[in-house]
Copies of this chain bind each other. A is one copy, B any other.
Amino acid sequence: MGKTENVQMLGITVKKDEDFSEWYNQVVQKAQLADYGPVKGFMVIRPHGYALWEAIQNYFNKVMDKHKVSNAYFPLLIPESFFRKEAEHAQGFEPELAWIEKSKGEESKDEERVAIRPTSETIMYDSYAKWIRSWRDLPLRINQWCNVLRWEVKQTKLFLRTREFLWQEGHCVYATKEECDKEVRLFLDAYKKMVEELLAIPVIAGKKTDSEKFAGALYTTTIEALMPDGKSLQMGTSHNLGQGFAKSFGLKFLDEESKEQLPWQSSWGFSTRLIGSIVMVHGDDKGVVLPPRIAKQKAVIVPILFDNAKEKVLKKCSEVEKTLSSINAFVDDRENYSPGWKYSDAELKGIPLRLEIGPKDLEKKHVVVVRRDNGKKEFVKEKDIKKRVGEILEEMHSDMFNKAKKFMDANIVEAKNWSEFEKGIKSKKMVSVHFCGDASCEEEIKSETTATSRCIPFDQKKSEGKCVKCEKPSKEKVLFAKSY
């Protein structure tokens, strides 16, 4: 059957380097990762997209288990008074809160106004204040996987900017600042490792400037990735909250000398926007390219059927499927679809490997293995399949990571003065530059270039210089870029 029309319908109609934004929207929807919901700003995460989130959850649950973080669940609705308790925090989230109508009659008239959580610091710490009594209860490390809601008015972008999204938020309490500092970095480093090892995306870890830190935090650390359009994407943050929330919510503990002390707190989170970053960094004109380690089904087996050897070919496909069960290989045995149509479908969805098996391959006792990222074909002897496919997947992971790393490295430039800075931002680079750290200076830079500070990278040589904007002395360089 001629299925050319379908291939066209399935395919992406714009090129990644011609209209990046439209390309992204098409890929996300046509590859069935996500759809727009019926309410403005909301998304439906479809099974193919949700499986990526589950892979991330499985990976990170193991990391948290190792570091003695327990999962829990706190209420969706937060009382108005809680937002008032920590002034900076309240101010940061107020404009984006969705409040619940009081329409329940008598019952709710006595009840306080409540909003859907934009993040859970306040409601979690209200409980923490009840649970923590002595130094024996510390450190307390709790995480929750949940939905949060921020009533953004900017244009929706699936996975990247939606009013509701899924995330994890870890919230820890420590006896000392030192412990808190140490673990703020511990979880940021765990994020970096996960993003690089599972998503094959290189990131830069650093500290946020005061203007960009979390509302209510002492300081914020972040991992930032560079997208192909030159914009930086914040992939995860880890905050030292200091003792401000503890004061506001009444957290205290008796130390070993039975003296009352204020504890230190941290919080850290990443969200479903990670899925968007996978699409943007690795995708191509044919669709998604899934990094092999995160793909649940790592290989599709496509039978090339001719009447004379139909059964034999299908039997072999089924054998190979079993051989590769640990990577969830599956046979695409849908009838009435041509092999070409199946190739396109698997490419659109980003399945890492395609195995082709036809009558000639049976004769030669090999299978054809095609990599999604670079289209490279390899004939693999039947007896070597399991071993070789495992190797190819790992090679693919490294190649994808290295390609993205090369792109990132090539697109971070140093600026010595304002004109170099402006030129860098205009030409879609991340620009590393001396900067004083002042909020007013940062605001000026933003209004002139639309770029914001992304982070003060941890990994930089000591250097003295002058702020690119105000020329006050600066002791470290800051990365600026446009951002999502």
Q: Mark A residues whose CB is within 8 Å of B.
A: 35, 37-40, 42-47, 49-51, 53-54, 70-79, 82, 98-101, 103-104, 107-108, 111-112, 114, 116, 123, 126-127, 130, 136, 142, 146-147, 149, 151, 153, 164, 166, 334
Contacts and interface: CB of A to CB of B under 8 A. Distances in A.
B50 A153 contact: no
Nearest to A272: B73
A46 B54 CA distance: 22
A65 to B, nearest CB: 10
B114 A39 contact: yes
Given A35-B127, A35-B130, A37-B75, 7 more contacts: A38-B123, A45-B72, A47-B142, A50-B73, A75-B164, A77-B149, A147-B147
Contacts of A71: 47, 50-51, 54
A101 B98 contact: yes
B39 A79 contact: yes
A123 B38 CA distance: 8
Dominant secondary structure at the A interface: mixed
A38 B126 contact: yes
Contact of A72 (B50, B146, B334): B50
Contacts of A166: 73
B101 A73 contact: no
Contacts of A136: 334
A78 B53 CA distance: 23
A366 to B, nearest CB: 31
A77 B39 contact: yes
Contacts of A127: 35, 37, 44
A43 B100 contact: no
Given A111-B40, A127-B35, A147-B147, A50 B77 contact: no
A424 to B, nearest CB: 35
Contacts of A100: 98-101, 116
Contact of A76 (B47, B75, B147): B147
Given A51-B71, A54-B71, A77 B164 contact: yes
A37 B123 CA distance: 8
Candidate in A98, A103, A114 with the most chain B CB atoms within 10 angstroms? A98
12 contacts: A38-B75, A39-B112, A44-B75, A45-B72, A45-B73, A46-B72, A50-B72, A98-B101, A100-B101, A136-B334, A146-B147, A147-B147
A79 B38 contact: yes
Given A99-B103, A153-B104, A334-B136, A75 B39 contact: yes
Contact of A82 (B38, B107, B114): B38
A258 B53 CA distance: 36
Contacts of A116: 76, 100, 116
A153 to B, nearest CB: 5
A427 to B, nearest CB: 34
B43 A164 contact: no
Contacts of A101: 98-101
B44 A72 contact: yes
Closest 10 CB pairs of A and B: A47-B70, A42-B75, A45-B73, A37-B75, A99-B101, A50-B72, A47-B72, A107-B153, A101-B101, A98-B100
Contacts of A153: 104, 107
Contacts of A123: 37-38
A370 B47 CA distance: 45
Contact of A75 (B43, B99, B111, B151): B43
A138 to B, nearest CB: 13
A244 B49 CA distance: 29
A73 B44 contact: yes
A166 B51 CA distance: 20
Name which of A39, A42, A334 has the most chain B CB atoms within 10 A of its CB: A39
A99 B153 CA distance: 19
A70 B50 contact: yes
Contacts of A73: 44-45, 50, 53, 147, 166
Nearest to A69: B47
B104 A151 contact: yes
A334 B135 CA distance: 12
Contacts of A112: 39
A334 B103 CA distance: 50
A126 B35 CA distance: 12
